[in-house]
Amino acid sequence: MSEIKNWRNFRLYVITAADCHPGRELIQVMEQTLIGGADMLQLRNKTGSKREVLEQAKALRELTSKYGVPFIVNDHPDIALEAEADGVHLGQEDMPIAEARQRLGSGKIIGISTQCVEQALAAQAAGADYIGAGPVFPTRTKPDRAAVTTEYIRQAAEAVSIPVVAIGGITPDNAETVLAAGAKRLCAVSAIVGSEDPAAVCLALRKTIAAAGGWQKRLITLNGLAHPTSASRLDELIHLLGQGEKRLVAELDGTVVPRSQWARTLLSEGAKLELVHFVGGG
């Protein structure tokens, strides 16, 4: 099981939406998002029974633990606790933050959906750990809610110090506009899980975030030299280096990492990485 690092470093948040991928298993789709670089995941199931939601939560907890990614349950603090999730996400009409905190304890993450600056400030004052800001654009997952536009993203980014996650109708085509408004973290739903290739969409969004400066670089040592990188995982670094097709042996902090584990291996500040290229012959 991978260690979950400082969760506030997340940049790409993905939420489940089983109706967006009929015929494909939830775990299969969500693992593709993790392979593509999602670094926070939320279970959102508004129609299932509590038993079904709990079963999904336990399965996703196991999956996200393998990748060292924080896992959030929408609406249900009790299920979050039973499934050993990292926290819960609440809407404006759900239980008060104080009640959720009392149930969950101080060590769990609480996120709140917001649609205006007043709600953002109130959430921060009440002890929320992050806010969702949206929907930025019209979205089929919230068809009855008016878009808040990128203006609210700009306002929220300036008004609160806790993490702000832009959400709602975000795609690789409009992500740059949202980031230009001040967003550092994006959440996409149907654009990712409704895609035939969720991993590719996640990777595209991560690249857009990195290009906008929203992805903090860490300094590692690569083959004996200082190397700043925006990559958070070993597979991403190797991809950015253009070495993905080569026969490589990767040794991280003195331990050889099998290629099958690259997507699950996190790069921490100060990590020491040796990459050795083998050339066939003989």
Active centre residues (catalytic): 44, 113, 142
Do the Cβ atoms of 135 and 148 come closer than 8 Å? yes
Buried b (16+ CB within 10 A) or exposed e, 187-226: bbbbbbbbbeebbebbbbbbbbbbebebbeebebebeeee
User: Nearest 5°: phi and psi at 101?
Assistant: -65, -40
Do the Cβ atoms of 5 and 198 come closer than 8 Å? no
Identify any residues that bridge with 74 across adjacent strands, giving them in sequence order: 89
Name the binding residues: 42-46, 74-75, 94, 113, 139-142, 169, 189-190
Taking CA 36 as the corner, what is the angle to CA 128 and CA 186, rounded to the nearest 5 degrees?
A: 35
Q: Enter the tokens of residue 196.
A: 């035939």
Name the binding residues for Mg(2+): 75, 94
Do the Cβ atoms of 104 and 110 come closer than 8 Å? yes
User: Nearest 5°: phi and psi at 99?
Assistant: -70, -40
- Using alpha carbons, select from 114, 113, 56 the residue that is nearest to residue 85: 56
